Amino acid sequence: MVTASPAAGTRHPIALSANNAIWHPSPNFGERRDGLTPTMVVLHYTAMASSAAALDRLCDPAYEVSAHYLIGRNGSIWHMVDEAKRAWHAGAGRWNGQQDINSRSIGIELTNTGAEPFGDLQMSALEGLLRGILQRWAIRPVDVIGHSDMAPDRKIDPGPRFDWARLAYQGLAIGPLGTRESGTEVALDETLNEIGYSVDTDTSANLAAFRARFCPWRRGPESQVDHDLAAAVADRFRIDRGLAQA
C-alpha cells in the first residue's frame, strides 16, 4: 500500500519494457541481498485516487518506497524497477518462515483506493503480467501472495474486494480444495502458520488476513467454519509446495 501525498508533476514515459509495460524508472531500489532471486510475487493496492499520484510517490527518492510494477484501472502497466533488482514494496514481515520479502519477491501495485472493486481491464492486465513473471522466474502459483498475508498486523491490501478466486481459477494463485471437517484438536493459529502466516503475529491478525483473502464475507469470532476452511487451504498449500500427494 502506498501512503497518499500531495501530487507532484507527472513524469513522462520514456520507453517500453520487454513486456510492453511503460518504462517509468524509480530510483528507489537496490541489489537483492545474499544472492537471492525472486521466488514469490506480492500484490498491493495503492490506497491512492490515481495512478499519477501513485507513480509520483513510488518514484520519489524522499519516500524510499517503490514496486516493480503499477497497474492502472484501465489496464495500463508501468514498469519502475527491473525484476532482477530489489524494489522497496513489502517492508517488515514474514511468509512461510521467510523474512526480507523484498529480496525474495516481485512487487505489483494496483491503483485502487481499497473501497472499490478491481475492474476487468485491470485484472486482465494483472493476469497477463503474472503469467510472464511466473514463467520467467519459475515462481509457483502458491507463492503469489498479498501484502496482508506477509504483514497482517500492519497491512490490509489488496483487501477483501480483490478477486483471488479469479486468479486461482486461471492457475495464477491458490485457493482451497473445497472444505473439510478439521475437528478442533488443532489450534487455528497452528493451521494458519502451516499455510504461511507468521508465528510472530497474533492469531486475530492472521485470521483477519486469511478471511480477507479466502472468505471475505466472514465476520465475528473465530468459529469451526474458520477451522474447516483453513484446514482445506492448508491441504492445498501443502500439495502445491510438494509436501503431500494430491
Mind telling me the catalytic residues?
Answer: 109
Q: Which three cell numbers stand for residue 156?
A: 490490509
